[in-house]
Amino acid sequence: MAISVNTVYQTVLYILNKEQRGYAPPDEFNSIGAQVQLEIFNSYFPDGNQVNRQNQRNTQNDTEYFNIFDNLSYRLTPFVQEITLLLNNTLTGATPIYGDGISFSYPLVDPTSGSLNPEIYLFGEVTCIYTGSPRYESVAQKTSKKEYTRIEKSNLTKPTKSYPIYYNYGSYNPSGNIPSGYSIIPSPLPDSVTASVIMRPNPPIWNFTGGSYGQYIYSSSNSNDFSLDISEQTNLVTNILKYFGIVLNDPTIIQVAEQEAQQVSINKKS
């Protein structure tokens, strides 16, 4: 469940007011909130790698709620999505990509609706679908371009509909050198491609209307909650405070917030 942007903002304001440390205007809060959210989000991946070593050594516990790796994976759940990639020569509209007929893309702009697609943070499992009878729905192996060529050349490993492979590259809009999305070249050429991806979190927005005394009044319309899981609320508040300490040039806030954040991190990983 997402974290309410208003709750976090109010908590930050209370703490800052209590300590007589000044005021955090909404614009600053939104920018710092987005930065902190991204930092926490980014930390999942090295942390996941670290705590997964317990799985590799078979020392991970098998409890329902205290398996730290599972808990970390759970926090990523809101960002996991399944997307459909489009064959490049089928793209229409304002952003035709490449048009080579052998690559599949997830364009920055949806060619049908014209709206911006959510930004992909990481690509996971890619599934190639071959229609017909029989129908194949096979997980493709990700390779580098070099491996791709090698695998293609060996008769024993040559990709088939049961064992497709792909490599990825950033495609460019032919009309200009503007990156126009994430593309893959699979082999053999499938009829359609789906992929499990992790989306980049939406930046938080604390939107407001002006009060009769010129004060800011929270407006839920056009506001964005933090995309992080609710279990990250404490972490989020302390890290935002840390940044406000820097903005306000107050080392005591930084110190307290850093200690707090460090303690949370140690508890998680030990």
| Residues of the shown chain interacting with other proteins in the complex, contacts defined by CB under 8 A | 52, 55-58, 60, 131-135, 139, 141, 143, 147, 151, 154, 156-157, 162-163, 165
Sequence-ordered list of residues with C-beta below 8 angstroms from that of 103, at least 6 positions apart, any chain: 87, 88, 169, 171, 183, 184, 185
| Measured distance CA(96)–CA(78) in Å, rounded | 30
6 or 157: CB nearest other proteins: 157
CB of 128 to other proteins, least distance (A): 13
Q: Return the beta strands (E) in 134-207 as ranges.
A: 136-142, 165-172, 179-187, 192-199
CA angle 74, 77, 81 (to 5 degrees): 160
CB of 266 to other proteins, least distance (A): 24
CB of 132 to other proteins, least distance (A): 7
CB of 135 to other proteins, least distance (A): 4
10 or 55: CB nearest other proteins: 55
Q: Go through the chain and tell me how many residues it has.
A: 270
135 or 269: CB nearest other proteins: 135
Sequence-ordered list of residues with C-beta below 8 angstroms from that of 238, at least 6 positions apart, any chain: 257, 260, 261, 264
60 or 224: CB nearest other proteins: 60
157 or 207: CB nearest other proteins: 157
CB of 126 to other proteins, least distance (A): 12
